[in-house]
Structure 1
């Protein structure tokens, strides 16, 4: 019964999150924001909302390691998808053709991930009320990074918005309504996903941290996978890459935001230090993706780029390490 609940709730989360991403994309176009900014902020926030709601639900069910595992595992899977894109998009080397401005979002993701590792290990005691100063710092860095991205955003012209209208996209009002309905579905369903995941961890003897980093993180990241591949297939490479880097930024922002719902202490200080392995893997994979965007090395091994191959290998090794640590927990 636990597995049935998990798969049913996972399927509902994926469908609702896809609708969330679709309506979020239309909202961004209707408000004349640029392709890179759409992917890095709005679309990334929309497709990462399941991670945020799942993390909050995990906190309410007193499984903070599952919450952290979900966030860091999602960051890892998002970068794994960069390698997937290299296999899906055969007519070009995707990290070589997108804007170098993605270095800002990629660098921001690395910075936020590194800060989260430091704060988890440091166990800082300072707080403002019940909210840790470390969590507030993550939120402030994210907001500052978004401002920097916005200042480098070229935007969408009025002609582009007109073309979007001629293409039959929904109206702004309809899109906002659909976005809110999809959000409501996620709010209702994510507690089922978390409770069933907790039950799976207890039944199998695997740690909740690994279940969060593997099962839950992959499920909540499927909307990013579907949206990113769809964007890449129509040639919207900046939207695709921006969605992945931006989702990693938003995930760490969500980690800080979760502290508002955690009243047993400071959230980051209470996360088990062993979870930093997943966090470091997420940062390293993001750094590899960032390197591929900036370096633009023209080299392939058979049918795959070298940096994409490194991402695949590191992700596989990382999941094996997390699995062995999960069995020992």
Structure 2
């Protein structure tokens, strides 16, 4: 139990550090290749910030723990909206101006609905997983098209300023890209082992561990990135990171895990409780971001509501264990 706890703490610390190095290396490499700031932000950084969830879930699925992978993906989306945007808005209210972000939000809602449709029958088949990965390909194509056709979008300006402040030589960028990815894999292996050991020792399901401990740990890079972006006044990057990450978490994380190890039986609570909470939070985010008659933003009051939802959801899960 002690060794497993140390493995989780070590895995989390290494995961956060390696994810940051991986994203910086990937973004700098893409910039040297000639990709525009908006494409790097939407595709490279978006994919990179979901790298912890993807690697952890892939490791869990390959070890025969697909429910841990599923819990990680759903739990991370809940954490991203309720905890990360909630805490970020409490520090600095998030004003949404980017048209690209507003276009991504309906895609996120559609992605969440697709996920619910696939989970409704209580199974995630190989074909379901391929459908998610196919949808991911379509989203990437849309992202590239949208990025190339964006004109003076606030998100592009924010990404351009951010990338200029983190420029590095191509050799250094490639070095951190590979080092970050290698350590991501190693830290994910350590984290999954520790999580499974604790779940077994406490008699808790892999799903619950994935929804709580693992989801929080793999979302720490997004938390740090969003708080830093909000403090700099880069509001659209803050919310854009979460929206993009949540889309990748469903399409890529669940898709990859499902291809590796399909889930033949999923508890009905996953659909009624976890997917339901994710849908409600996603719709709340849509309403806040669009404003509907007012400036789209997440105020401190709304941030408090989101953070309270995170506390309430986790309290409900813990009470179920006790």
Q: What band does the TM-score fall into relative to the shorter chain?
A: 0.7 to 0.9
> In 2 relative to 1, CA 99–273 (structure 1 residues): closer, same or farther, beyond 3 Å?
same
Deviation at 1:280, TM superposition (A): 2.3
Task: Note if 1:280 corresponds to 2:276.
Answer: yes
In structure 2, stretches of 5+ residues that fail to align are none
SS of match in other structure, 1:189: helix
Moved more, 188-197 or 137-146: 137-146
Task: Give the count of matched residue pairs.
Answer: 310
Match of 1:120 in 2: 119
CA contact (8 A) 1:65 1:272 kept: no
Q: Which residue of 1 aligns with 2:88?
A: 85
Q: Which residue of 2 aligns with 1:135?
A: 129
Residues 197 and 216, structure 1, Cα contact 8 Å, conserved in 2: yes
Residue in 1 that maps onto 2:24: 22
The aligned residue for residue 177 of structure 2 is: 179
Is the Cα–Cα contact under 8 Å of residues 288 and 307 in structure 1 kept in the other structure?
no
Which residue in 1 is equivalent to 2:189? 191
Match of 2:208 among 207, 210, 214: 210
Moved more, 218-227 or 304-313: 304-313
TM-score after normalising by structure 2 = 0.85
What is the 5 A alignment of 1:150-161? 150-153=144-147, 154=150
Deviations 1:79-130 (A, max 9, x none): 12111221222xxx42x343132122222222222212221222579xxxxx
1:29-108 paired onto structure 2 within 5 Å: 29-30=31-32, 31-35=34-38, 37-80=39-82, 81-89=84-92, 93-94=93-94, 96-108=95-107
Could you tell me how far apart the structure 1 residues matched to 2:194 and 2:291 are?
43
Residues of 1 paired with 2:152 and 2:178: CA distance? 24
CA contact (8 A) 2:158 2:237 kept: no
* Structure 1: runs of 5 or more not aligned: 126-130
Q: How does 1:226-241 map to 2 (within 5 A)?
A: 226-241=224-239
How many angstroms does 1:296 deviate by? 5.9
- Give the CA RMSD over aligned residues: 3.0
Counterparts of 2:160 and 2:90 in 1: how far apart (Å)?
33
- Alpha-carbon separation, structure 2, partners of 1:308 and 1:320: 18
Aligned-pair distance for 1:306?
A: 4.1
